[in-house]
Amino acid sequence: MAAPAADPPVTRNMFLNIGPSHPAMHGIIQIVTQLDGERIVSTDVEIGYLHRGFEKESERGPYNNVIPYTDRLNYVSPLINNFGYCLAVERLLGIEATERCQYIRVIMSELSRVCDHLTCVGASAMEVGAFTVFLYMIKAREWLWELVELVAGARLTISYGRVGGVKADLPEEFVPRTRKALEDVRKVLLECDMLLTRNRIFVDRMQDTGVISKDKAISYGITGPFLRGCGVALDVRKANPYFVYDRMRFDVPTGSHGDNYDRYLVRMEEMEQSMRIVEQAMSDLPPGPLNVDYEGKVLPAEVMVDEAKMGHVAGFKSVRVQVDPTLEGSTRGYHDAVNASEKRAVLPAKEDTYGNIEGLMHHFKLIMVGHGIRPQQGEYYSAVEGANGELGFYVMSDGSDRPYRVRVRPPCFTIMAALPELLIGDMVADIVPTFGSVNMIGGELDR
Amino acid sequence: MTSDLTTMLHARFPAQIIAAHNYRSQQTVLIKREGLLEITRALKDDPSMAFDFLMDLSCVDYLKFGKSQASAPTLTTPSPLPYYMEPKTDAETWTRGVSHDEYRFELVYHFYSSSLNHRLRVKVPLTSADLTVDSLTGLWHSADWFEREVWDMFGVRFAGHPNLKRILMYEEFKGHPLRKDYPVRKRQPLIGPAN
Amino acid sequence: MVATVDTTQLNWMTTRVDAALGWARKFSIFQYPFVTACCGMEYMATATSHYDMDRFGAGFPRFSPRQADVLFVVGTISHKIAPVLRRVYDQMADPKWVVAFGVCTCTGGFYDNYATVMGIDTIIPVDVYIPGCPPRPENVLDGLMKLQDKIAQGTRAPQAPDPAQRPDELHTPHRPEAHL
């Protein structure tokens, strides 16, 4: 008696829901995958869980009120977002920041970029299993955050940029402390490099996973380290230079395979290049324009206040007051050194506001409702190189004191749109390193 | 590289171009919505333009353009303004090109060419009565999610889009939040109070 | 001979047992970090070597609600994720506590618009509020110590939050939009 022919087993694809609250500490994303065993057959990515209405909120306040909201876009590199927005509004107004301010912006942007890459590589290493690397990199990030706190007053959400300048000048000990901190960060990067780059487990998990071809990446509009991992040397800092990037010497690292491992290597090398830019900028930092009146008289601020309290106000109108433009009051630099001279956009120094009538009027005209920074009707799209790629700000003005439309072109939006491309065909375990190298930042993705 | 792109487009598609400008050195063309697919295909395929990146796609609602309460200063003083507060006379002026009342919405496309390193902004004015336009998902994959976001936030339909559903808000949400007539604080909670 | 138990000593025994349980619970916190936004960066900073939550016994995040006892809600909660938060909270087993980390979870922060929840205590009961945007790690550790005091005493927030009974000082003042 012949055995009946065995029916082939009937299989069905399994649906696995990952998220929205899941431990790959990148935020809240839902990936609904359809699995055939361990292979991913299809994915459906659901975003928008952190939509906080940035674009609607930015229509409510005057131009400078948008800056705290921009901090919280890409919250691991907030300085780049601040300066990207300020650049768009300044170009819309047709003004340019002073040279010293541009150098400061470049230094702070690059420090922010190093923080972002440290967080990205650290978190993705932790998710793959290398917890020590995460601890080392966060330790390095703390040193950089201490520097940012020295200059801007806060570690993370700094609101440092202003339309026309920055909030405060660099304090005295910034340059030596930064040099020391960058040395320490380089040591940490060397350690992490030794732990990861030729580590058999790490390489096996990252190499040939999450592969995307160059043409597909361009068609998806992907920019930044993701695209550079595919072999396209596109960097907004080189292609459309802004601030003083055209004076900086740095390389743009590219990969070749378009997989997770190449992106990891690109990010590690970019950190080194960013530190190189910071060091060049610090050694070239111009002292800034010194503004004294035609008699050459400069009065320190505290003297002026004391004199005014006693009623000795004669002659104040013709005297230039020396202000302390840094947060801790170190007496160097002048307010004008870090803010554009465009009086229609930049607030006067506090001593002028309280000291003479021109300053008071100037302050009034910029702060009161109905007055303020008023670019004429127009629009401008400015692109800066964010940590994830091209961060674009499209600002439209209708002649009033608040922006009519602020649109952020988020770099990781396009990368997340390509996530199905990256994941289909790989195994479930490859979702974690791929998603880690996407560096999705919820604030930027969902705004 | 000043007006080459706009003159080229004027020469090839004279019927579809409504207006063009170069405000603050950024080339912009206003085109009719019927010509969108044809012109964007030419932008991508023509080797002298070679726009391989659709960098950004967004929308603007012109309902309150120039009409907000903050458009005119609320305080006028009899004494003259100090010299530095006079409105600056700018050599460049900007006009939209079509009337705000007729065309309430406008789609704004930003293109970039990585090989030739130039950018172009293409704007498509739309009336609120007929808020549909062709989808560019066949040409650039990035259009997929950008168009979903414009649908979600403004309510512009894209004909030919494979999956036009909300992306940032939840499906139960009614209305399109970034329109100027949607109140900022109007919440539609799924659970909890509408505070 | 029957040994009699002096009942006045029993209360002392149970309070000692409660105190011991409280002590054990407060130094073995298994957190569920419901991380959404920027506060997550400061959460990471508090959890790692510089500020180190592990020395408080709170170093082990447990990413399953069934295994966690403190729900750290870190970052803005939008209306889209609110049902998910409620579900995670409901899935946690008693005894459980909730920490509202960051001002967006306490009262909504400066995101007062169509998309955000103005304070998670409209959805789930909260035990400790840690304001800040984002709070410094020292603030977080202070909040953690206050939570530990609460755990040691065994007090918990009431189960059903009623938004109508929120004390007035927690209501966000309505800002008239005269300019719009």
pLDDT at B165 over 70: yes
The domain that contains A197 carries what CATH number?
1.10.645.10
**A382 strand-pairing partners:** A393
Smallest CA–CA distance, residue B23 to chain C, in Å, is 28
pLDDT digits (tens, 9 = 90+) for B110-134: 999 989 898 999 999 999 888 999 9
Is residue A280 scored above 70 in pLDDT?
yes
**How many interchain CB pairs under 8 A, B with C?**
52
Chain B (43-62) residues lying within 8 Å, Cβ to Cβ, of chain A: 52-56, 58, 60-61
| Residue C37 to residue A60, Cβ atoms within 8 A | no
Q: Of all residues in chain A, what percent carry a pLDDT higher than 90?
A: 40
pLDDT at position A140 is 94
Give the confidence band of B192 by pLDDT, cuts at 50, 70, 90.
confident
From A91, A94, A409, residue closest to B56, measured CB to CB: A409
Domain membership of residue A181 (yes or no) is: yes
Cβ pair B184:C179 closer than 8 A: no
Beta carbons within 8 Å of C169's beta carbon, 6+ residues apart: none
Which among A27, A138, A369 has the least Cβ separation from residue C37? A27
Higher pLDDT, A198 or A10: A198
CATH number of the domain at B1-65+97-195, please?
3.30.460.80
Q: Minimal Cα distance from A234: which residue of B? A: B114
Check A218 against B114: CB less than 8 A apart: yes
pLDDT class of B72 with cuts at 50, 70, 90: low
Q: Distance between CA atoms of A323 and A309, rounded to whole angstroms? A: 18
| pLDDT confidence of residue B106 | 92
For residue A364, is pLDDT > 50?
yes
Please state, in angstroms and as integers, the Cα–Cα distance from residue A132 to each residue in A2, A128, C45, following that order: 61, 11, 14
Q: Which pLDDT score, from 0 to 100, does residue A162 have?
A: 84
- Report the alpha-carbon distance of residue A165 to residue A349 in Å, rounded: 12
Number of residue pairs across A and B with CB atoms under 8 Å?
144
Residue A239 falls within a domain, yes or no?
yes
Chain B's closest residue to C118, CA to CA, is: B195
Name, in order, each residue with C-beta under 8 angstroms of A314's C-beta and a sequence gap of 6 or more.
none
What band does B148 get if pLDDT is binned at 50, 70 and 90? very high
A173-216 pLDDT tens trace? 889 999 999 999 999 999 999 999 999 999 999 988 889 999 99
- The burial of C155, by beta-carbon neighbours within 10 Å (0-12 exposed, 13-18 middle, 19 or more buried), is given as exposed
- Tell me the shortest Cα–Cα distance from A143 to chain C, in angstroms: 10
Q: Which is more confidently placed, A387 or B192?
A: A387
Q: Greater confidence, A25 or A365?
A: A365
Sequence-ordered strand ranges (E) for A315-372:
320-322
Tell me the pLDDT band of B59, cut-offs 50, 70 and 90. Answer: very high
Q: Indicate yes or no: pTM above 0.90.
A: no
How far apart are the CA of A131 and the nearest CA of chain B, in angstroms?
33
**Given this model, what pLDDT does residue A200 score?**
92
The 10 Å Cβ neighbour count of residue A243 is 22
> How close is the nearest chain C Cα to the Cα of A119, in Å?
9
Q: With a cut of 0.85, is the ipTM above it?
A: yes
- Average pLDDT value for chain B: 85
Residue A392: CB partners within 8 Å, gap ≥ 6? A84, A381, A382, A383, A407, A408, A409, B55, B56, B110
Cβ proximity of B39 and B122 under 8 Å: yes
pLDDT over 60 (residue B54) = yes
Chain B partners of C162 at a C-beta cutoff of 8 Å? none
The predicted pLDDT at position B76 comes to 57
Using omega within 30 degrees of 0 as the cis cutoff, is the peptide bond preceding A78 cis?
Answer: no
CATH code of the region C28-162:
3.40.50.12280
Q: Which residue of C has its CA nearest to B191?
A: C83
Chain A nearest C-alpha distance from C35 (Å):
6
On the question of pLDDT at A379 being above 80, the answer is: yes
pLDDT for residue A46 is more than 70? yes
* Paired tokens of C106: 């306490």
In chain B, where the domains are located: 1-65+97-195
The chain B residue lying nearest A358, using CA atoms, is B82
With 60 as the cut, is the pLDDT of residue C168 above it? no
Q: What is the DSSP letter of C151?
A: H
- The domain of A398 spans 54-287+374-446
Structural domains counted in chain A: 1
